């Protein structure tokens, strides 16, 4: 009888194993312990008939109690495994992982940084100025005539009698020249404001990148070569540039620069409106009157300046069809550019 009770204890010792078993092992354990033909406990129960009544009672009670325990443990493990499997079914393991949203620089910031980096490599530092400007810096020091239409309240956002939201980044040329004697080489990114209504290519606020180089002996050749270099760096080595006569009060001569369309390589496409060219920037040799207004000797110093629209560059670079996308902060738009840039 002692042997039999010891065997029962041995079988009870398998309980922890049941609690850990996976589905297949569980099936094996059930057969091994309780199987009708070869089950270890079944074998003991079968022997009961051959025992003395006294012994049979004791061993029988212990064996039946153990049978109940083993069955309960096996059933509990079956339920536990089913629960785990249910949880896993709710998770489709073939689905792409949920990655943490890391955020990133706005596509416009990326493009502005890229432009500034290109110019930094050829000696331009980055400067900034305030968005609220005086009429003097925004217009008069830049040689605008007093009756220029941009001075009209219909065109610009005035904050006071002679303070307005700057209509371009050019007033930072004035601020720079007044505080830094030449040689000067700066790029100036910043927001500018005009009374335009929103449409796919206009916005009352947008970003410009201004450039200014003033030194002794700067010529029209330096001007063209620097901007052509920029265009090739930004749009690619095959890019051709075209300068055409233009007019700005603060440059003389003035020129608009176009780059061969980087989308169609100049063959004609919707981005370049079939012309093969993209108008990129306004520019020119700094007007001597501007230099003099800033206390710079125009006999000794010359320079060039340029201004371009940052959204326009980003739109061409990434095929963005509508300027309003830059302002709407729609993550479906923003996300496409996340992780790029720095």
Which residues face 11 on adjacent strands?
A: none
**Residue with smaller CB distance to ligand DAH, 156 or 251:** 251
- Count of residues in contact with ligand DAH, rule CB under 6 A: 11
262 is a site residue for ligand DAH (CB under 6 A): no
- Residue 307 CB, nearest approach to ligand DAH (Å): 3
**Residue with smaller CB distance to ligand DAH, 139 or 337:** 139
CA distance 147 to 110: 38
249 is a site residue for ligand DAH (CB under 6 A): no
Residue 281, H or E segment: strand 277-286
248 is a site residue for ligand DAH (CB under 6 A): yes
**Residue with smaller CB distance to ligand DAH, 235 or 248:** 248
- Per CB under 6 A, the list member of 210, 227, 320, 325 interacting with ligand DAH is 210
**DSSP notation for 87-120:** HHHHS-TTSPP---------HHHHHHHHHHHHHH
Instruction: Give the β-pairing of 125-126 and 184-193.
Output: parallel
- Residue 112 CB, nearest approach to ligand DAH (Å): 16
H helix and E strand count, the chain: 12, 9
The label of the residue with tokens 């980044």 reads 169
**Residue with smaller CB distance to ligand DAH, 182 or 284:** 284
230 is a site residue for ligand DAH (CB under 6 A): no
Site string for ligand DAH, 69-98 (x = CB under 6 A): ------------------------------
**Of 306, 6, 313, residue with least CA distance to 168:** 306
CA distance 242 to 189: 23
CA distance 319 to 300: 44
**DSSP notation for 194-234:** -S---BTTB-SEEEEEEEEEEEET--HHHHHHHHHHHHHHH
**Residue with smaller CB distance to ligand DAH, 110 or 251:** 251
Residue with CB nearest ligand DAH? 307
- Residue 149 CB, nearest approach to ligand DAH (Å): 13
**Residue with smaller CB distance to ligand DAH, 14 or 148:** 148
- Per CB under 6 A, the list member of 110, 251, 302, 311 interacting with ligand DAH is 251
The label of the residue with tokens 């010529």 reads 219
119 is a site residue for ligand DAH (CB under 6 A): no
For 301, half-sphere exposure in the C-beta direction (CA atoms, 13 angstrom radius) is 24
Candidates 115-123, 130-138, 233-241, 302-310; binding stretch for ligand DAH (CB under 6 A): 302-310
7 is a site residue for ligand DAH (CB under 6 A): no
Instruction: Give the β-pairing of 132-134 and 163-165.
Output: antiparallel
**Residue with smaller CB distance to ligand DAH, 266 or 309:** 309
CA distances from 141 to 23, 232, 250, 269 (A): 85, 33, 9, 40
The first and second tokens of residue 240, run together, are 């051709």
Which residues face 317 on adjacent strands?
A: none
> What value does the CA radius of gyration of the chain take, rounded to a whole number of Å?
40
- Per CB under 6 A, the list member of 307, 311, 312, 316 interacting with ligand DAH is 307
- Residue 237 CB, nearest approach to ligand DAH (Å): 25
Site for ligand DAH in 136-195 (CB under 6 A): 168, 170
- Residue 266 CB, nearest approach to ligand DAH (Å): 24
- Residue 176 CB, nearest approach to ligand DAH (Å): 11
- Per CB under 6 A, the list member of 182, 189, 249, 284 interacting with ligand DAH is 284
The site for ligand DAH (CB under 6 A) is made up of 168, 170, 210, 248, 251, 282-284, 305-307
């Amino acid at each position: 009888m002692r042997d039999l009770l010891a065997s029962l204890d041995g079988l009870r010792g398998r309980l922890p194993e049941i609690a850990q078993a996976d589905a297949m092992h569980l099936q094996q354990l059930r057969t091994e312990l309780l199987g009708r033909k070869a089950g270890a406990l079944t074998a003991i129960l079968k022997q009961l008939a051959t025992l003395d009544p006294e012994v049979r009672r004791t061993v029988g009670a212990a064996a039946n109690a153990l049978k109940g325990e083993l069955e309960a443990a096996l059933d509990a493990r079956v339920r536990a495994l089913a629960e785990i499997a249910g949880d896993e079914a709710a998770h489709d393991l073939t689905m792409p992982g949920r990655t943490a949203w890391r955020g990133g620089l706005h596509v416009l910031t990326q493009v502005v940084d890229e432009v500034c980096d290109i110019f930094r490599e050829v000696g331009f530092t980055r400067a900034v100025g305030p968005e609220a400007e005086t009429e003097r810096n925004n217009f008069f020091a830049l040689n605008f005539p007093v009756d220029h239409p941009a001075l009209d309240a219909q065109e610009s956002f005035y904050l006071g009698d002679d303070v307005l939201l700057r209509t371009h980044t050019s007033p930072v040329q004035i601020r720079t020249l007044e505080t830094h004697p030449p040689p000067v080489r700066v790029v100036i990114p910043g927001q500018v404001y005009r009374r335009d209504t929103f449409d796919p290519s206009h916005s009352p606020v947008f970003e410009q990148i201004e450039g200014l180089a003033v030194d002794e002996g700067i010529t029209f050749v330096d001007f063209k070569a620097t901007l052509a270099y920029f265009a090739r760096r930004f749009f690619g080595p095959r890019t051709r540039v075209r300068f055409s006569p233009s007019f700005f009060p603060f440059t003389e001569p003035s020129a608009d620069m176009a780059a061969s369309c980087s989308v169609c390589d100049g063959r004609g496409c919707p981005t370049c409106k079939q012309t093969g060219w993209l108008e990129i920037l306004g520019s020119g040799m700094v007007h001597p009157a501007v230099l003099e207004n800033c206390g710079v000797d125009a006999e000794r110093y010359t320079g060039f300046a340029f201004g371009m629209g940052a959204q326009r560059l980003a739109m061409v670079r990434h095929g963005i069809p509508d300027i309003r996308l830059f302002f709407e902060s729609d993550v479906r738009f923003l996300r496409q550019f996340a992780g790029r840039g720095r």
